[in-house]
Amino acid sequence: MATADAQGRLNEAMKLHNAKRLDEAEAIYRELLEVLPRSALVHNLLGVLEGQRRNLKESIRLLKMAIDINGRIPEFHDNLGAALVAVGKSDEARKRFEYALEMQPNRDTARNQLARILLPGATYAGLLENLLRWKEPKTYIEFGVRGGQTLALAKAPTFAIGVEQNPRIVSRFTTPTRVYDMPGLDYLESGRMETVTERKSFDIALLRAPRSFEDAYDLFAALEARSSPGSIVILHGTLPVDPVAGAPTRQSNFWVADQWKLVPCLLETRPDLTVFSVPAFPAGLTFVAGLKRRTTKLVKNRDRNVSEFLEREVPSPEEWKKVFNLGSDSWAAIRRRLSR
């Protein structure tokens, strides 16, 4: 078979594959392997096809052969990792996704798969909904509303507040809700929260908007100054799955910036607070309770704390337990810790 003919047959097989005509696609793939036994691409495509049929043992065999022939294609490692996850070999799959990211640091398919291995439990939205149902806060405030999906989890009698620059709300709210188009710190310093709620404090706040450690630090300090003894702050995106996800500057779409540094900062400089993290998909969640409205520790020590923690490197998942005080993501365990 000439090279041009082989390419034409491969294109035909891939069209059949995309149309889910798997038997016809397989026949051409195997025909091609008769004349191109060292084709990494054909082995990979056939391995993907077998995975779609749930013939996982054969899928893994073929995908490993593709990598043996050419191990420098990130997509091949993604595909093999997905097949390994399907048979419960998460540790081996993790290595494949990490290798794909070494070759292509902005590869979000691998990063998302890696997050599902490292953060296999509850979603952050599910845990937030449990917290709102349990506490029934009078005031819930969210920094970084995105489409409003989690802001809409607030139900009566809660008054909900969303703050984000250029919000793009697509959700419908069932409880009194206000959304403000402005930076979080500007909002808190404007006095609007106190005016609209007729209260001097909030009950629950979610920080999802900060795109730097410094911003997260300042926003948290401002929230603590407006807290009550029962106030809870939730920090989203505190368990970056790799250095790119937790870098100060964006290199991929799967990015939480370096606001994660606030967690070790609080654990080391504010032992009077209750601070613990849980492996909620997709990027971790940290709960902070025991806030003290009149404290000035964070404000007074701001420059020193920021300087000390700014250069911290993203911890590996093996370091999460120590660095982030990582615990169980079961709702019962979280509720117990918040009730202490």
Q: Which residue has the higher pLDDT, 255 or 3?
A: 255
Dist. CA 126–CA 285, nearest whole Å:
11
Q: Report the pLDDT value the prediction gives residue 209, as an integer from 0 to 100.
A: 66
Rg over alpha carbons for the chain, rounded to the nearest Å, is: 24
CATH topology of domain 124-339: Rossmann fold (3.40.50)
Q: Report the pLDDT value the prediction gives residue 145, as an integer from 0 to 100.
A: 93
Per-residue pLDDT averaged across 53-62, rounded? 97
Per-residue pLDDT averaged across 210-239, rounded? 95
Q: Calculate the average pLDDT of the chain.
A: 95
Per-residue pLDDT averaged across 267-272, rounded? 97
pLDDT in tens, 200-219: 999 999 999 668 999 999 99
Give the residue among 264, 243, 265, 245 at the shortest CA–CA distance from 256.
245
Per-residue pLDDT averaged across 271-285, rounded? 96
Q: What is the DSSP letter of 253?
A: S
Dist. CA 136–CA 120, nearest whole Å:
27
Q: What is the CATH code for 3-118?
A: 1.25.40.10
Q: Which helix (H) or strand (E) holds 43?
A: helix 40-52
Per-residue pLDDT averaged across 136-162, rounded? 96
Dist. CA 293–CA 91, nearest whole Å:
44
* Neighbouring-strand partners of residue 233: 205, 288
pLDDT over 70 (residue 272): yes
* pTM for this predicted structure: 0.92
Dist. CA 188–CA 201, nearest whole Å:
11
pLDDT over 60 (residue 4): no
Q: Report the pLDDT value the prediction gives residue 99, as an integer from 0 to 100.
A: 96
pLDDT over 90 (residue 317): yes
Which residue is associated with the tokens 């016809």? Answer: 24
pLDDT in tens, 68-93: 999 999 999 999 999 999 999 999 99
Q: Report the pLDDT value the prediction gives residue 340, as an integer from 0 to 100.
A: 83
Q: Report the pLDDT value the prediction gives residue 1, as an integer from 0 to 100.
A: 57
Contact partners, residue 88, CB within 8 Å, separation at least 6: none
Dist. CA 138–CA 72, nearest whole Å:
55
Angle 316-79-18 (CA atoms, 0-180°, nearest 5)? 145
Going from N- to C-terminal start, the domains of the chain cover 3-118, 124-339
Per-residue pLDDT averaged across 135-160, rounded? 96
Structure-token pair, residue 161:
């507040």
